Amino acid sequence: PLMRVGNLDQKRDFTDVRDVVRAYALLLEKGQAGHAYNIASGQMIPVREVLDTLCDIARIRPRIEVDPTLFRPNENRPAYDMSRIRAHAGWQPKIPLRQTLETLYAATLARHRAGA
């Protein structure tokens, strides 16, 4: 199969929603009023790595075509400082990106097979 994609060299911080929910629960107990908390993995991952991992999980090798018309202006994203949430709530993410992607792929496949 052919996949037309944008800029695969951009980096993003990917965090499993289950880790985010755990962070919210901890902040309800331990967070301090008036403080902002960054909930993130703390790792900037190239989009290419996410695509490669998903292709590996799905056991497919698509032909990748980078299309500059799909690039977004100002795509650079900041890395997030998570020191406050660690200090106040003791939170850090536990679920590795690969596990998140495996779960996502399995759920998507199950929905597809169920006709959803």
Token pair for 102: 């495996």
Distance CA 69, CA 57 (A): 28
Mind listing the pLDDT tens digit for each residue in 45-103?
A: 999 999 999 999 999 999 999 999 999 877 777 889 999 999 999 999 999 999 999 99
Mind listing the pLDDT tens digit for each residue in 21-44?
A: 999 999 999 999 999 999 999 999
Asked whether residue 45 is assigned to any structural domain, the reply reads yes
Asked whether residue 82 is assigned to any structural domain, the reply reads yes
Cα–Cα distance list, 109 to 11, 59, 72, 105, 115 (Å): 26, 13, 29, 6, 10
Q: pTM value?
A: 0.87
The whole domain housing 87 covers 2-107
Q: Provide the number of structural domains found in the chain.
A: 1
Q: How confident is the model at residue 1 (pLDDT cuts 50, 70, 90)?
A: confident
Residue 79 has what pLDDT?
Answer: 85
- CATH number (domain holding residue 56): 3.90.25.10
